[in-house]
Amino acid sequence: MGKPFFTDPAFLSYIEGEEFSPGLSLDLGFLPSEPHNSRQDTICEIVHGKKVLHIGCTDHLPIIDEKIKSGRHLHTALLEICEKVVGVDIDNDSIKHLIQNYNMSDIYNIDLVTTPKEKIPFVDDGPFDFAIMGEIVEHLDNPVQFLSKLRTEHGGLFDKLIVTVPNAFNYNVLKHWKRGSEIINSDHRFWFSPYTITRVLSASGYNVNSIQMADVSQKMDIFSRILNRIYSTIGSPKRLRVPQKYGATVIVIASQ
């Protein structure tokens, strides 16, 4: 495995915007060939037993019930494995839905960009070990402004920040792209790569500690389909998968 570019002094001046290259080449050899878990499982693995501030905790209202039922609702999963979890979201309808239908507590309708720290109701619960922004940054009109404000106004609330964003070079995205179509969440403003999310976090005053990819697809050529079906039939967890760098999600841990 190669040295991660975000720890290499040779790339620091580019990450911090002091130098420019129209064709900067980055070695992604630091990403293992073996796939990691799903985004949710990976995050839960990192924060297990920790105190967590979950920013954007609700998910889209129309899909909350289905996600909870199928075990794919991140906030619900965090509640099961963390020492303490506090959630914030700007979607008041979703907050009410979780409180009324799932009896959730410690979730607040707060915009951290506009709310001063003296009006944060859970400030005495901090500092949290991690703040999590899962699939949030790509929805923001100005990610650097939000992340910077989060750090300068509320950085004392958490030690480290976990950010997950969609990978522009996702295997399934590239398959559709080759066929002449783009498949995307209609509310997304951006696609990301390991470098571009590092650049955004650096511009916001954070240091990237680690990057990994999650939600890796199975290979779907004819040979792989047959072999994967055999593995499934015999109950083997092994699957032929694409390399981790083609995973759907980039997961970053950053410090202030």
The residue with tokens 């900067």 is 24
Query: Residue 132, exposed/middle/buried by CB under 10 A (0-12, 13-18, 19+)?
Result: buried
Domain that holds residue 111: 33-217+244-255
CA distances from 248 to 106, 156, 243 (A): 30, 31, 11
Q: What whole-number percentage of the chain has pLDDT above 90? A: 77
**Pairing mode, if any, of strands 207-214 and 249-255?**
antiparallel
Query: In this structure, is residue 239 part of a structural domain?
Result: no
- Whether the pTM exceeds 0.75: the reply is yes
d(CA 147, CA 165): 14
* pLDDT single digits (tens) 78-93: 999 999 999 999 999 9
Query: In this structure, is residue 112 part of a structural domain?
Result: yes
Residue 152 sits in a domain of what CATH number? Answer: 3.40.50.150
Which runs of consecutive H residues, i.e. helices, occur in the chain? 9-15, 39-47, 61-70, 74-81, 92-102, 143-154, 171-178, 194-203, 222-233
Q: Which pLDDT belongs to residue 36?
A: 62
Q: What are phi and psi of 101, to 5 degrees?
A: -100, -20
d(CA 70, CA 112): 30
CB 1 within 8 A of CB 29: yes
Query: In this structure, is residue 233 part of a structural domain?
Result: no
Per the document, the length of the chain is 256
* pLDDT single digits (tens) 1-48: 678 999 999 999 999 999 999 999 999 999 887 666 789 999 999 999
Query: In this structure, is residue 14 part of a structural domain?
Result: no
Q: pLDDT band at residue 132, thresholds of 50, 70 and 90?
A: very high
CB 74 within 8 A of CB 40: yes
Looking at the 3D structure of the chain, how many domains does it have?
A: 1
Query: In this structure, is residue 208 part of a structural domain?
Result: yes
Query: In this structure, is residue 157 part of a structural domain?
Result: yes
CA distances from 174 to 16, 21, 162, 185 (A): 29, 25, 26, 15
Q: Which pLDDT belongs to residue 150?
A: 95
Q: Can you give 11-66 as a three-state secondary structure string?
A: HHHHHCCCCCCCCCCCCCCCCCCCCCCCHHHHHHHHHCCCEEEEECCCCCHHHHHH
Query: In this structure, is residue 165 part of a structural domain?
Result: yes
Query: In this structure, is residue 1 part of a structural domain?
Result: no
